[in-house]
Structure 1
Amino acid sequence: MDYEERKRKKEARAVKKNSKDARKLLGAKGKRFAKKRYAEKAQMKKTLKMHDESSSRQKVDDDVEEGAIPSYLLDRDPTQRAKVLSNTIKQKRKEKAGKWDVPLPKVRPVAEEEMFKVLRTGKRKTKQWKRMVTKATFVGPGFTRKPPKYERFIRPTGLRFTKAHVTHPELKCTFNLDIISVKKNPNGPMYTSLGVMTRGTIIEVNVSELGLVTPAGKVVWGKSSVEKLSFFCPSLRLKPCSINQCFLSVQANTRRLQITRRMMAVSMLSCSCEALIQFWLRC
């Protein structure tokens, strides 16, 4: 019943709380708080500037027209509502930002019982705090295991993937590239940190060998409309695929899974020779 009133009072007190935190916080907390407030103020200034532009007028510098100008137009400067320009600029920004967005699909959440297998330890097998990952994972080359006594999550060597096949549709060339990292697992940050690759996971691969360049001369590390990318592990067979979809199959045996992967989109990064790839993985 008092929710709206309490909310209003809380928002009114937030200014004093922020002021107090800005004066009192020290060290790492103070730095984080200052960085957050700096970003908020910058965003606020941009918003206020956009509101000011929406109702202002500005001079339009057009080419001089041929012929005489009437005397009643000599003192006039052709103006144009800045709102139209600001809307156009905002629309271009949205298009530019959306161009490199990787759409996350709506995937079925994987249950913890399906993702992990409980390992019983101890002399009487009564301890149940260890877990073994049952899905495909990526582990970096510099990874060092913890001592077995303290290792909570175990990632089997047979389920680790380190390579990717990158196929160019125009050149008809396939490049065997390294997987750099797992960027995002839709099931949660814990699975992302473990490097688990389930349906809808975005991974990062090294595409420096492609050497694509934009008309402006910038290096492009990946684009879904240009490249076909898929994933590779030992004993893979490449199947026919369309321009924007790649399918690879791993023959199932005692140590390998039957896996189908589909590339959806990639993103552009600058200096680290890497690209984001969204793929589907069915175990």
Structure 2
Amino acid sequence: MVKHQRRYGKRLDHDEKLRKKEARSVHQNSKVARQTHGLKAKMMHKQKHAEKVQMKKTMKNHSERNVKKDEEKPDDSAALPTYLMDRNEQRDAKSISSAIKQKRKDKAARFSVPLPKVKGIAEEEVFKVIKTGSKKQKSWKRMITKPTFVGENFTRKPPKLERFIRPSGLRMKKANVTHPELKTTFQLPIIGVKKNPQSPLYSQLGVLTKGTVLEVNVSELGMVTTGGKVVWGKYAQITNNPENDGCVNAVLLV
């Protein structure tokens, strides 16, 4: 049906016919309910009952949206743990709803980066062709001409197996990260490259270009979560062109 509609479109009176069919469906269902008997009738009535109960619950929740309720008081005979002491506060459906919405916004904010759009870089600019072999005929190796990040215990593959060469002079280990709220810059160690918007291959190789999202070690800043745990790693986005400046400047995503 969907395929037919895509090819040939709909009738001019399609929406009107659909509306009339839905309006008639009430009478049709009523007729079926009157004529059905036996096990089929029992199943139908059970389904209708469940629908009515669900509708009543929805209506009740809607009417109680702005009604404030006290938490149920626990039994006084039992000792109350310390983490439950402050839970006798008022709670209403609207505040819970807004709290959930706020959590969703916070979750979405993690992906809202300072540089949403980045200029594309051609592969010819990033990779330089290296010819190998005694007669320099094979050209299957590539040298990366942009700054890169490699892990702490990184060791190069044997020369015959190495596909991408990352020069040691272009390897970066630290980034100048600016905290947007404190307006202060810290030099922090890079833990890894989370995503390079240019290409998944660049993310895998750890190529550092403008707009790349890094993971940096923020344990020195003393940042803590709401639970009181020290934050170890946080994401930051590169805001400069490291190949031009010789350093990595980034903004912390808070």
TM-score range normalised by the length of the shorter chain: 0.5 to 0.7
Compute the displacement of 1:182 (Å): 0.7
1:217 and 2:220 are equivalent in the alignment: no
Question: What is the CA–CA distance in structure 2 between the aligned matches of 1:85 and 1:174, rounded to whole Å?
Answer: 37
1:188 and 2:187 are equivalent in the alignment: no
1:114 and 2:134 are equivalent in the alignment: no
Give, as a single letter, the amino acid of the residue that structure 1 aligns with 2:207.
V
Closer/same/farther in 2, CA of residues 222 and 57 from structure 1, 3 Å limit: farther
Aligned pair partner of 1:162 in 162, 173, 186: 173
Question: What is the CA–CA distance in structure 2 between the aligned matches of 1:96 and 1:53, rounded to whole Å?
Answer: 33
Normalized per residue, the structure richer in helix is: 2
How large is the RMSD of aligned CA atoms in angstroms?
A: 4.1
Match of 2:251 in 1: 264
Match of 1:177 in 2: 188
Q: Which runs of 5+ in 1 are unaligned?
A: 8-50, 64-81, 232-245, 251-255, 268-283
Q: What is the TM-score when the length of structure 2 is the normalising length?
A: 0.56
Is the contact made by 1:210 and 1:221 (CA closer than 8 Å) also made in structure 2?
no
- Report 1:59-208 matches (<5 A): 59=64, 60-62=67-69, 88=98, 90-103=100-113, 105-166=116-177, 175-208=186-219
Give secondary structure in 1 for the equivalent of 2:220.
Answer: coil
Normalized per residue, the structure richer in strand is: 1
Question: What is the CA–CA distance in structure 2 between the aligned matches of 1:181 and 1:191, rounded to whole Å?
Answer: 12
Give, as a single letter, the amino acid of the residue that structure 2 aligns with 1:199.
K
Give, as a single letter, the amino acid of the residue that structure 2 aligns with 1:128.
S
Q: Which runs of 5+ in 2 are unaligned?
A: 7-53, 71-92
Higher Cα Rg: structure 1 or 2? 2
Give, as a single letter, the amino acid of the residue that structure 1 aligns with 2:170.
L
Size of the alignment, in residue pairs? 181
Question: What is the CA–CA distance in structure 2 between the aligned matches of 1:138 and 1:125, rounded to whole Å?
Answer: 29
Question: What is the CA–CA distance in structure 2 between the aligned matches of 1:53 and 1:258, rounded to whole Å?
Answer: 65
Query: Identity of paired residues, percent?
Result: 49
Closer/same/farther in 2, CA of residues 149 and 52 from structure 1, 3 Å limit: farther
Closer/same/farther in 2, CA of residues 54 and 191 from structure 1, 3 Å limit: farther
Is the contact made by 1:119 and 1:128 (CA closer than 8 Å) also made in structure 2?
yes
Q: What is the TM-score when the length of structure 1 is the normalising length?
A: 0.51
Give, as a single letter, the amino acid of the residue that structure 2 aligns with 1:119.
I
Give secondary structure in 1 for the equivalent of 2:253.
Answer: strand
Closer/same/farther in 2, CA of residues 87 and 173 from structure 1, 3 Å limit: closer
Give, as a single letter, the amino acid of the residue that structure 2 aligns with 1:57.
K
